[in-house]
Amino acid sequence: MKVVTQLSIFLENKPGVLAEVASELADKGINILGISVSDTVDHAVVRLVLTEPSKARDILESHGVLVVENEMAQLDIKDEPGALAKTAAKLAGAGVNIEYAYGSAPFDGKARLYLRVSDTKKAAKALK
C-alpha cells in the first residue's frame, strides 16, 4: 500500500468544464492517475489522483476552483474474483472503514484501487 494525495474539486455541472480542467492539467504536464466524478444538482465533485498534486492544487486554486486535499490508500490487487473481498476483510479486521473507493482497469494482472479509509496508518499495517 502507498499513501497518495487526492484532490477533490467542485466544478459547475455543465458540458465542457471537466474538459477545461483536464486540458489545463495536461498543458502543465500533470497526468491523471485516478478519477471519480459524482454529480449533484448544481455541481460535480471530481476526485483526482495526480502525478503532481501540489502543482495541480496551485493551478486549480489560481482559477478559483475550490480544492480539498485528502490522503488515499493506493494499492494494487490481483485481478481475480475475491481479491477485493480479501482486502476489505483485512481492513475490517483492523477496524479500518472504507469511506469510498474507485479503481482502474486491470494491468499486468492487477487492478489499482484508491481507497479513502478512516485511518491510513492502520490500513498500511493491516495490508502489509
User: Which CATH number characterizes residue 19's domain?
Assistant: 3.30.2130.10
The three grid cell numbers given for residue 50, joined into one nine-digit string: 495526480
**CB 28 within 8 Å of CB 65:** no
34 and 54 fall within a common domain: yes
Residue by residue, DSSP assigns 75-127 as EEEESSTTHHHHHHHHHHHTT--EEEEEE---BTTEEEEEEEES-HHHHHHHT
Q: What is the pLDDT of residue 62?
A: 96
Check whether residue 36 and residue 60 sit in a common domain. yes
- My answer on whether 56 and 115 are in the same domain is no
Q: pLDDT band at 98, cuts 50/70/90?
A: very high
Per-residue pLDDT reduced to its tens digit, 58-86: 999 999 999 999 999 999 999 899 999 99
**Total domains, the chain:** 2
Please give the residue range of the domain that contains residue 39.
2-70
